[in-house]
Structure 1
Amino acid sequence: MSSQHGPDRHRWLISYADYMTLLCAFFIMLYSVELLDENQYKAVQEALDGMFTTSSQQLLPQPESATTVLEDNNGMMPLYQTITQQLQVFIDSNELIIEQEGEWVKIRIKADTLFPAGGWEISDEMMDIIEKLAITIRPIPNEINIAGHTDDVPISTESIVSNWDLSALRAVAVVRAFELFGIAPQRMAAMGFSYHQPIFPNNSDEHRLANRRVEILIKQGTINQPWAREENIE
């Protein structure tokens, strides 16, 4: 019984005190780590806040116009806009219609504007339009298709035996005029469609007038070909 009251009976207090000391040190360490992380987070957050508040105009991109977006994507709208702006006077006078159709920019001219009835030679007074078209198109090194269209009224003369001939001859006449004004012939193709691709049903004079046309189709996008010739036309 006397051994229970010896010097060893309070030894467990020493172990308990050591345990509590270690536990306290552990929690102090955790708290220190938490403070360190929080301080680091605040420092990063303050730096980011400063970047986005004081330099927001430099960091955030400005809204782009629809024209810029289209230019970055495929170059379609700038070609259409360039041609439209340069030919606006003829658009306003209803001598030209310019549209986008798939990968092509289409310039539509009424055949009655360019040619005499049943004829395929471009009238002298209309050569100004052809020259302006050529000057506009010439610097653009893209493929050009010229398509002739007629209405469904049959034609048969000594030199033109069908609507196929008339539509093709009118397209060729525009090609030759473009070549005269400096557009490289390698870029161009002439096609005749007769009356088989009408815009409207051929059921009225107004519709037939619209169907008699020449269409100049310019392929959109970048084409690396040595086609565009910069020549001084006298």
Structure 2
Amino acid sequence: MARKKFDEETESHERWLISYADFITLLFAFFVVMYAISVVNEGKYRVFSNALGDAFGGKRVAPKMVDEIQPSISLPNLAGRRRAEAMRRERELLTLLARDLTSTLAPLVKEGKVRVTQNSRGVSVEINASVLFDSGDAMLNASSKEALLALAVLLKNDPHALQVEGHTDTAPIRSPLFPSNWELSASRASSVVRLFAEAGVPETRMTVIGHGANIPVAANTDPDGRARNRRVAVTILSALPDTTTEIPTR
């Protein structure tokens, strides 16, 4: 009997290895891409791009690096501009106040009894002592109150701090009330502050200083110079903060 020959097709049990190898390859490529993206720089990106180009037969294209984004306004510049704007507004506010003070005290300004000035400290109103006090006295006379009350009306609602300073000439004074010009100058400044407080200017905004004869505005060698030195200065202090520089030790 003739033997039948069967060509039996042998079933392959290793086909899964092909799919598994493809999966592993794709997974490896995925992690390589993720790593390259996470630590990208120009050199690594170019090498990686060229390697992919070689692998897939594509053209090598050098990547265009994105320029670093520069902030349009840096924080120091912004702070500087804000500070400059605050300084400009403060100067304008003090200038308007100085004009109002000059207008209010115009008769005394024209007579040379009052002087209004503006500088980096603020606005200063210097009032000759003859307008406010009798000779050697610290009590305000009757004629002085009208000018001071008009001044208080302007200053009452103004937010700036006030510094009231008393000044004398070099002529010595010795009395039970005023052993020296220190006491006389401080008492005269205090009298002005008390009137301001009674007129509604907050006491917390005011300070008193007595300089005696130590800050003259004229020579004390003649009567006119001594008269100019006897004065009370009301300074409306600028709200701009003082800049402090610490001196390092050597």
TM-score normalised over the length of structure 2? 0.58
User: What is the CA-CA distance between 1:191 and the residue it aligns to?
Assistant: 0.5
- Aligned equivalent of 2:106: 88
User: What is the CA-CA distance between 1:79 and the residue it aligns to?
Assistant: 2.3
Structure with the bigger RCO (C-alpha within 8 Å, sep 6+) is 1
Q: Could you tell me which runs of 5 or more consecutive residues in structure 1 were left unpaired when the two chains were aligned.
A: 1-68, 224-234
Matched, 1:192 2:215: no
User: What is the CA-CA distance between 1:77 and the residue it aligns to?
Assistant: 1.8
Q: Deviations over 1:160-182 (max 9, x none)?
A: 10000000000000000111111
Q: Deviations over 1:131-163 (max 9, x none)?
A: 111012112111000000000000001111000
The answer to whether the 8 A contact 1:74-1:221 is kept is no
Q: Deviations over 1:11-66 (max 9, x none)?
A: xxxxxxxxxxxxxxxxxxxxxxxxxxxxxxxxxxxxxxxxxxxxxxxxxxxxxxxx
- Aligned equivalent of 1:171: 189
CA–CA distance in 2 between the matches of 1:127 and 1:78?
24
Matched, 1:159 2:166: no
CA–CA distance in 2 between the matches of 1:111 and 1:73?
29
Given the alignment, which residue of 110, 117, 128 partners 2:128? 110
Matched, 1:76 2:94: yes
CA–CA distance in 1 between the matches of 2:108 and 2:127?
10
Bigger shift: 100-109 or 205-214? Answer: 100-109
The answer to whether the 8 A contact 1:70-1:77 is kept is no
Whichever of the two has the greater Rg, that structure is 2
Q: Give the root-mean-square deviation of aligned CA atoms.
A: 2.1
User: What is the CA-CA distance between 1:86 and the residue it aligns to?
Assistant: 2.8
User: What is the CA-CA distance between 1:94 and the residue it aligns to?
Assistant: 3.0
Secondary structure at the aligned position of 2:143 is classed as: helix
Matched, 1:213 2:220: no
Letter in 1 for 2:162: I
Secondary structure at the aligned position of 2:196 is classed as: helix
The answer to whether the 8 A contact 1:168-1:190 is kept is yes
Q: Deviations over 1:85-113 (max 9, x none)?
A: 23323322333110113221000111121
- Aligned equivalent of 2:156: 138
Matched, 1:204 2:214: no
- Aligned equivalent of 2:141: 123
Secondary structure at the aligned position of 1:75 is classed as: helix
Kindly tell me the number of residue pairs found equivalent between the two proteins. Answer: 155
The answer to whether the 8 A contact 2:164-2:209 is kept is yes
The answer to whether the 8 A contact 1:148-1:192 is kept is yes
CA–CA distance in 2 between the matches of 1:112 and 1:72?
33
Secondary structure at the aligned position of 1:191 is classed as: strand
Q: Which has the higher helix share?
A: 1
Change (3 A) 1:201 1:90: closer
CA–CA distance in 2 between the matches of 1:70 and 1:81?
17
The answer to whether the 8 A contact 2:105-2:147 is kept is no
Q: Could you tell me which runs of 5 or more consecutive residues in structure 2 were left unpaired when the two chains were aligned.
A: 1-86, 242-250
The answer to whether the 8 A contact 2:166-2:233 is kept is yes
User: What is the CA-CA distance between 1:222 and the residue it aligns to?
Assistant: 7.3
Matched, 1:101 2:119: yes
The answer to whether the 8 A contact 1:147-1:191 is kept is yes
CA–CA distance in 1 between the matches of 2:191 and 2:101?
21
TM-score normalised over the length of structure 1? 0.62
The answer to whether the 8 A contact 2:133-2:140 is kept is yes
